[in-house]
Structure 1
Amino acid sequence: MDHVSDSPSIQLAPHGKLLLTGEYFVLDGVPALAVPTRRGQSFEAVHLSDSSDHDVYWKAYDVEGWEWFNHAYDKEEWARAQVQSEDPRARILQILYAAETLNPGCTRQLRGVEVSTHLQFDRKWGLGSSSTLIAAVAKWLGVNPYALLEQTFGGSGYDLACAFAEGPILYERNGTSPKVTPVSWEPDWLQQTCFVYLNQKQNSREGIRAYRSATVSEHAKTEIRRITTALLTGSLHLRAAARLLLEHEEIVGNTLGLIPVQQKLFPGFPGAIKSLGAWGGDFVWALSEDEPEKIRKYFNERGYEVVIGYDSMVV
């Protein structure tokens, strides 16, 4: 059994995440290349008093420092928190309840504890507001983070692997015991890439449902695996990398019956653009031989103001 520490006080700062290859297919155990982001979410739990009328005071702040959530919980609440809901108050209850079922007694000391979370990125960006929370709570209460994810938000779990990673990882899903392999991956052409926010957040659970309802061929899985392996080749140049990512886009598009983002929104882009995570929102990855300022201008002129260079985004 896992054990919670003697003191309920803790400070953590899990990273956000981006899935560079293998989106959707990672659910079926296909290896995926993922990276932790510099922007994440800080998590602090402080033991205030055992004589408190409530067990946990929970406060959540956005990137601007605005307190968007505040609630005082007691154990009677999370003992009844078995119904899933998108409401933040119910979601936190569900997480605490799930943690207790996974490690009975782990919430025993949570009386008079104040929890504060501070996002380091816009909540709409999709860099992992949920995964950073699950990763932090799992470490705080001594439970398996992948098991906690299964009982709450669901998903492949690659984002949890990114939460405390120190660089790029190769992630293979395997229930609550995935294979996570740190990779040394710093090709020069990464400096010619950037991440662009598409001005809308995509619900990853909807994307997962679409993938699950599609016919996924073994050939497609093999090709996605090949592309990820090829992308990690040290001698690869930008043009070759761009071709691989466009192949990846074509495979995912054909599998889901969707139009790749470059064809749909940026047909004249001088390079390659790849969707990241759930298609249709959040960030895309752009590769080009043109100067970074020219690429930034290209997207800004089309109404996409958030353009972040690789090194500014990735740990």
Structure 2
Amino acid sequence: MTDYFYSNGKLLLSGEYAILDGAEGWAIPTKFGQGLKITPSSSGILTWKSLDVDKNTWFKASYTLADFKQLSASDEAISKTLIGLLQEARALQPAFLSESAGCAVETELSFPRNWGLGTSSTLINNIAQWAKIDAYSLLKKTFGGSGYDLACAQHDHPILFKIEEGQAVVRKANPTLSFVDQLYFVYLNQKRNSREAIAAYRKRSINKLELTTKITEITSALIRAGSLSEFERLLNLHEHILSTALDVRTIKEQLFSDYEGSIKSLGGWGGDFLLVTARKNTFDYFKAKGYSTIISYSDMILKN
């Protein structure tokens, strides 16, 4: 009997970095995600194949079932990460694959790998579902991070997410935005390594309580913004506060200083997607600068 699991991708619209220290962030599950299919076999081993959005194989490997020892792999670094996930899953659930006669696993992304919409988080959540374990526990033992991406993987609506006493607290967000047709996501043509971005933030000596308080207030105000101008003011304020905390110029200052609308970094600063507010020349402006992947808010967000 074939098993199948699916997890949603993610975008954090407010709260990046500060969410690690208790700020409340606004996140959306995307209509893009990753599936995981498990087909039983009598091979005596675990075979793994990962497909990209075009159904091309970008990783394949095979492992023993007893201890997930690598038998073959097309990429050593990816294989090492996968082995770690599988071993930690078994540590949390000793029965995981303990009586299997073999299985073939196939994962498939519905978005390009370099988009940064959660290749890792969707995999973690899918493995957790497969092993019948808590996804946050698996995340903590492997990749680390706040866990908002797992919450997006598991929910089919916008969320408010925060860490409270070490635990994830998830609430349904109900944005009352009348101007969503003027919101777009622009891909920066490069993916930022989340773990490196988090490590750099952790080294900063700043007032974390002040930062988290301000960012939480902005998050609350953003989802209630009654006009595009108010929404833009809040986006600009969020960028200014994080720019000061990180000692990094905003992406608008770095690359798009002459753009008339607001631009906000999402995730690790310097990569992945931007949230931009539209003007008449939005598409022409970004395409002229070499950024041709532009997705509307409505085309990105998962509609429940």
TM-score bin, normalised by smaller chain: over 0.9
Tell me the equivalent position of 2:117: 127
Tell me the equivalent position of 1:21: 14
Q: Which moved more, 1:170-179 or 1:262-271?
A: 170-179
Cα deviation for residue 186 of structure 1 reads: 4.5
Give 3-state SS (helix, strand or coil) of 2:167's partner.
coil
Tell me the equivalent position of 1:194: 184
Cα deviation for residue 69 of structure 1 reads: 1.2
Q: Does 1:272 align with 2:241?
A: no
TM-score by length of 1: 0.90
1:19-50 deviation digits (Å, cap 9, x = unpaired): 0000001101111100001111111111123x
Cα deviation for residue 199 of structure 1 reads: 0.8
In structure 2, C-alpha distance between the alignment counterparts of 1:137 and 1:120, rounded to whole Å? 17
The structure-2 alpha-carbon separation of the partners of 1:185 and 1:86, relative to structure 1 and needing over 3 Å to count, comes to farther
What 5-or-longer segments of structure 2 have no aligned partner?
none
Q: Which amino acid aligns with 1:301?
A: A
Q: Does 1:282 align with 2:282?
A: no
Q: Which amino acid aligns with 1:209?
A: A
Cα deviation for residue 190 of structure 1 reads: 1.6
In structure 2, C-alpha distance between the alignment counterparts of 1:58 and 1:131, rounded to whole Å? 18
Preserved CA contact (<8 Å) 1:147 1:176 = no
Pick the aligned partner of 1:222 from 172, 197, 213: 213
In structure 2, C-alpha distance between the alignment counterparts of 1:300 and 1:16, rounded to whole Å? 25
The structure-2 alpha-carbon separation of the partners of 1:86 and 1:73, relative to structure 1 and needing over 3 Å to count, comes to closer
Q: Does 1:73 align with 2:66?
A: no
Q: Which amino acid aligns with 2:12?
A: L
In structure 2, C-alpha distance between the alignment counterparts of 1:276 and 1:253, rounded to whole Å? 13
Cα deviation for residue 180 of structure 1 reads: 0.8
Cα deviation for residue 214 of structure 1 reads: 0.6
Pick the aligned partner of 1:92 from 82, 86, 98: 82
Pick the aligned partner of 2:38 from 45, 63, 66: 45
Tell me the equivalent position of 1:146: 136
In structure 2, C-alpha distance between the alignment counterparts of 1:10 and 1:155, rounded to whole Å? 28
1:91-127 deviation digits (Å, cap 9, x = unpaired): 1111110011112222213332111101111111111
The structure-2 alpha-carbon separation of the partners of 1:14 and 1:236, relative to structure 1 and needing over 3 Å to count, comes to same
The structure-2 alpha-carbon separation of the partners of 1:79 and 1:98, relative to structure 1 and needing over 3 Å to count, comes to farther
Preserved CA contact (<8 Å) 2:27 2:148 = yes
Tell me the equivalent position of 1:298: 285
Preserved CA contact (<8 Å) 1:78 1:94 = no
Tell me the equivalent position of 1:3: none
Q: Which amino acid aligns with 1:33?
A: W
Cα deviation for residue 77 of structure 1 reads: 4.2
In structure 2, C-alpha distance between the alignment counterparts of 1:126 and 1:86, rounded to whole Å? 21
Preserved CA contact (<8 Å) 2:22 2:212 = no
What 5-or-longer segments of structure 1 have no aligned partner?
1-6
1:49-93 deviation digits (Å, cap 9, x = unpaired): 3xx231x1111011111111111211344379xxxx981111111
Q: Which moved more, 1:183-192 or 1:206-215?
A: 183-192
More strand by share: 2
Give 3-state SS (helix, strand or coil) of 1:167's partner.
coil
Q: Which amino acid aligns with 1:69?
A: F
Q: Which amino acid aligns with 1:143?
A: I
Preserved CA contact (<8 Å) 1:79 1:97 = no
Q: Does 1:104 align with 2:97?
A: no
Q: Which amino acid aligns with 1:30?
A: A
In structure 2, C-alpha distance between the alignment counterparts of 1:59 and 1:75, rounded to whole Å? 16
TM-score by length of 2: 0.93
Preserved CA contact (<8 Å) 2:176 2:223 = no
In structure 1, C-alpha distance between the alignment counterparts of 2:55 and 2:105, rounded to whole Å? 15
Q: Which moved more, 1:218-227 or 1:137-146?
A: 218-227
Preserved CA contact (<8 Å) 1:103 1:142 = yes
In structure 2, C-alpha distance between the alignment counterparts of 1:260 and 1:110, rounded to whole Å? 51
Preserved CA contact (<8 Å) 2:63 2:69 = no
Give 3-state SS (helix, strand or coil) of 2:226's partner.
coil
Aligned length: 297
Preserved CA contact (<8 Å) 2:187 2:293 = yes
